[in-house]
Structure formats: structure tokens, C-alpha cells
Amino acid sequence: MLRSILLLKKALLTLLLCGSATAQDDDALTSGVPMAPLQAVANPASQAEVELGRELFFDVRLSRTDRVSCANCHDPEKGFSNGQRLAKGVDGREGKRHVPSLINVGYIRTLFWEGRAADLQQQALLPIQNKAEMDMPLEVLEKKLNGIADYKRRFEQVYGGSVTADRVAAALAAYQRSIVSNDTPFDHYLRGDRESLSASSKRGMKLFFGQASCSRCHTGAQLTDNKFHNIGAGDPADTGRRAVTRRREDHGAFRTPQLREVAHTAPYMHDGSFQTLKEVVQHYNFGGVTDHENNHRDELLEVLYLGEDQVDDLISFLTEGLSSNGNDLSRGKPQTPARASKR
């Protein structure tokens, strides 16, 4: 009896409050911040440099076997990941980690899942040389690309000199900084368009910043704190951040990923162990507890007690709210400069 009176009161209150729904939405979003243009770029990359980087990114000749390009693993049509659990490089060699998406990568402070590389330019030469990825020694790369007249000419135009590994890295970095998503319905909402999100996505957004406490870690304009946490995903044998800091408390911690376009980058986590966003949300709903013994799970995680509808709303926010379908992130492959004449 008491319960039904309370429910009736609640229903009446909701009716009365309908008019002030917008004000409530604003309150829910105190920690939502619009994305600023990339400031990390000291010299705004010229369009010619970005285009050169884009061609290199799609060019299989950067690999020893002429079969693997950056885009083989970071495929624009799969949200700049590869749609698989783990990476696959030259001769089908399998890597140990899931391919991270490169969307908004120019904003990230430390690269790789456990943050072992400092910036895009430093990072770019690592996959080229990695035996399980492109397996290409840098001297061979320089010689090979200098033998391709079109590349030689383009490097001359952009950098005023021949192809060097450092210039390849600079061009690749310039292209990757151009892979930006900042025009999702959530972004429109943050800029003041209160109609951009569906009712379900809006409820999901409130949960994200409220009861579900996702924003304890997925915070700021990029929805990441740029820090490392152990959320209980994957094989506890992967030391994660501990390999960099040598601190026991960092065992199994990985960088909080940014979340724009996340609906297009499945599977999820550093080892690709979650197939769907529903699995991800349910994992958090259970406080990140799994069958594995784990003494390092982050204290920020707790059981959330979300009902099915709330789980669906959160997923709506992650999928509709954070996807910019109109934004062309998957521009087709560029023409790669003509092959070197037979050597």
C-alpha cells in the first residue's frame, strides 16, 4: 500500500518535472567536456604531409614481405582495428595483443596498451621493425622507398630531401593525427543541441556520468583519464603497466581507452576478450569480478546493480551517442605511388 502511494507520488512528480528535464540533463553532465582541436601538434601538418602519410599507411611495401601495411591491422573499415581478437602480421605471425583503434590517437599521451611509447613519431618505426608485424629493417626501408621515383619526388616536395626513416615516421604521425572523431550526437549535445540524443541514449549518458560511474575513468573531452587501471579483463599473466613502472600495484593495468566510435571497434580490451559492448557493460555491472584470481583490481570498480533496461540504455549511449555515422572515417585506400622498376 505504502509502496503504491510512493509510486503514485513519484509519477506525479515526474509529470510536474517534465518541463525542467533540460536543466536535469545539464546537471548530469557536469563532467562532459567538448573536444578541443588538437593542440599537441606544434607545426600544424600541411595537407601534403598528411596525404603522404596516408599513402605510406596503406602501402604494403613498408613490410618485408610486401603484404602487410599499417592498414592491414588498423583498417579504417573496422574502426582502425582489425575486427579480430589478436593482431596478425607478416607470414601470419600472431601478436599477443588486440589491435587498438587509432581514432583520436593524436590526443593520447602515452601510446600502446600499457603506455610504453611516448609519441606517434617515435611509435611509427616500431611496427615497421617488429618481427611479428612488418619485419622491415630501417636501412632496407629507406633504400626501397628511395628506389620508388614517386616517393622520392613527394618526400623532396614535403621535406626538401630524400626518404629517411625519420621522415616516414613524421608523415605517418601527421596522417594519424588527422584521424579524428569529434562530431558524434554526444558532441552535438555538448555543444548545446539537446535533441541530438535519443531518449535511451540520453538515459545512458546520465548513467555513464552518474550511477554507472564510467566517468571515474572515462572522463574529460576524450572520455579517458589517460591513466592505467586493472579492470579484471584478460589473462592475469600479462603484466601490463607493471612492465613499464616495475611497480607491483600496476600489475595488469592498461590505459583507459577513448570511446568515440567504440561501436565500430569490436572486439574489446587489450586482449580482445570481449566480443560485444553488452559483455563489456555486464562485466562492469558485476564490479569487474571474473573467475580469475586478481589481487590488483582497481578500487574504483564496484558492483553497479544496473537492471536490463539500464544496461540497454548505456549501450545506446555507447553505440548511437558516440558514433558519427556522417563522419567519413573510412575514406578508401589511396593510390600508392607506382612500383619501383625491377631491381
Among positions 158, 301, 311, 329, the unique one binding ligand HEC when judged by CB under 6 A: 301
d(CA 233, CA 196): 33
Among positions 180, 214, 263, 311, the unique one binding ligand HEC when judged by CB under 6 A: 214
In angstroms, give the least distance from the CB of 11 to ligand HEC: 28
Among positions 29, 35, 99, 311, the unique one binding ligand HEC when judged by CB under 6 A: 99
Closest CA to 125 of 138, 113, 116, 115: 138
Taking the least distance from each CB to ligand HEC, the nearer of 76 and 234 is 234
Binding residues with ligand HEC: total (CB under 6 A):
56
Question: Which residues touch 175 (CB under 8 Å, ≥6 apart)?
Answer: 50, 51, 52, 53, 54, 56, 57
Tell me whether the omega of the peptide bond preceding residue 267 falls within 30 degrees of 0, making it cis. Answer: yes
Q: What share of the chain is helix, strand, coil (3-state, %, to 5)?
A: 45, 5, 50
Q: Residue 179 is placed in which grid cell? A: 584521424
In angstroms, give the least distance from the CB of 156 to ligand HEC: 21
At 40, phi and psi to the nearest 5? Answer: -60, -20
Residue 107 engages ligand HEC in binding (rule: CB under 6 A): no
Taking the least distance from each CB to ligand HEC, the nearer of 158 and 269 is 269
Among positions 298, 312, 334, 336, the unique one binding ligand HEC when judged by CB under 6 A: 298
Residue 329 engages ligand HEC in binding (rule: CB under 6 A): no
In angstroms, give the least distance from the CB of 62 to ligand HEC: 6
In angstroms, give the least distance from the CB of 123 to ligand HEC: 5
Q: Residue 308 is placed in which grid cell? A: 536490463
d(CA 225, CA 335): 38
Angle, to 10 degrees, between the axis of helix 149-159 and the axis of helix 165-177?
Answer: 70
Taking the least distance from each CB to ligand HEC, the nearer of 4 and 30 is 30
In angstroms, give the least distance from the CB of 225 to ligand HEC: 8
d(CA 119, CA 109): 7
d(CA 277, CA 224): 17
Angle, to 10 degrees, between the axis of helix 165-177 and the axis of helix 47-57?
Answer: 100
Residue 133 engages ligand HEC in binding (rule: CB under 6 A): yes
Residue 128 engages ligand HEC in binding (rule: CB under 6 A): yes
Taking the least distance from each CB to ligand HEC, the nearer of 67 and 188 is 67
- Contact between residue 46 and residue 72 where contact means Cβ atoms under 8 Å apart: no
Among positions 32, 106, 185, 234, the unique one binding ligand HEC when judged by CB under 6 A: 234
In angstroms, give the least distance from the CB of 240 to ligand HEC: 7
Taking the least distance from each CB to ligand HEC, the nearer of 146 and 319 is 319
d(CA 115, CA 117): 6
Residues lying near ligand HEC in the complex (CB under 6 A)? 62, 68, 70, 72-74, 87-89, 95, 97, 99-102, 105, 108, 111-113, 120, 123-124, 127-128, 133-134, 172, 176, 212-214, 216-218, 229, 231, 233-234, 254, 256-257, 259, 262, 265, 268-270, 277, 280-281, 284, 298, 300-301, 314
